[in-house]
Amino acid sequence: MSIRHAVIMCVYKNDKEQDIKLAIESIINQSIKNHLYIYIDGVVNNKVKDLLGGYSSNRNIFIFESEINHGLAYGLNFLIDKILPCKYDYISRMDSDDISLPDRLFLQEKFLDMNKSIDVIGGYCTEFGSEFALKVKKVPLEHNDIVNYSALRCPFIHPTVMFRSRVFDSNIRYPVNTYYSEDLALWYILLANGYKFANIPEILLKYRITEDTLFRRKGFFKAKCEAVLRWDYMKKMKIISPMKCTMLIIKMISQILPIFILKVLYKKYR
């Protein structure tokens, strides 16, 4: 049987060798066969180079690299463009510091095979790496709940996401003009264009969350970018309400709070 599934992953200079190895091995050891596509986004250290070079003989892994760091959205789009001519049924995201559980791809592929109207699927995760990690991180399951939830929260745990390849046949790609918000921007584009979302109530991934994760999620420019994206989304989907507007302001303020306060919020209010 031909391989139906491609997984895309980007690596850049701040990624750690051991984390990358765990991520790659978790895809290699999936219970169904897949092809892993890796994009090296800019210069990386020799340990990472040697690690990735060690996979060059694996016929199910394809590695591309650029000496210039273009950013995550560019790297993901590059891999999508490489993959589409191969006519895979499904394309999955993977992050270079997370660990997919062995049946992740099988469970998601099974769901999509049985639910032909769903275009993008995610699932639950278990977090690790910090005192504020959650044992189980949940997200809404049904499309209509996801539409409403997306106004103020991200509807997917992004490294659990699986797309039908047809999603990208209409030239939709990750926006490259957002400030570390390419995932959220893509979800909004897809929802506004009528694509159907779902999550499954299964833990699919071990998600690494550390203090560095919080630093990447905070800051005025990221908060402003996300607020603009959320406001535009609410207008397009006609789901504006006084409560959502209030929560949008609170959300923006929370992203510029000191790290020690964010740690408490992440532990108690997610």
> Do 22 and 52 touch, CB atoms closer than 8 A?
no
What is the residue range of 210's domain? 5-268
Q: What is the pTM of this model?
A: 0.93
| pLDDT score, position 263 | 84
| pLDDT score, position 213 | 86
| pLDDT score, position 180 | 77
Number of domains forming the structure of the chain: 1
pLDDT in tens, 50-65: 999 999 999 999 999 9
Residue 219 CA: distances (Å) to CA of 42, 81, 214: 24, 32, 10
| pLDDT score, position 43 | 97
| pLDDT score, position 78 | 98
In DSSP notation, the chain reads ----EEEEEEE-TT--HHHHHHHHHHHHT-SS--EEEEEEES---HHHHHHHHTTTT-TTEEEEEESS---HHHHHHHHHHHHGGG--SEEEE--TT-EE-TTHHHHHHHHHHH-TT--EEEEEEEEESSTT--S-B----SHHHHHHHTTTS-SS-GGG-EEEGGGGTT-----SSSSS-HHHHHHHHHHHTT--EEEEEEEEEEEE--HHHHHHH-SHHHHHHHHHHHHHHHHHHT---HHHHHHHHHHHHHTTS-HHHHHHHHHH--
Low-confidence ranges of the chain (pLDDT < 50): none
| pLDDT score, position 138 | 97
Q: What is the CATH number of the domain that holds 161?
A: 3.90.550.10
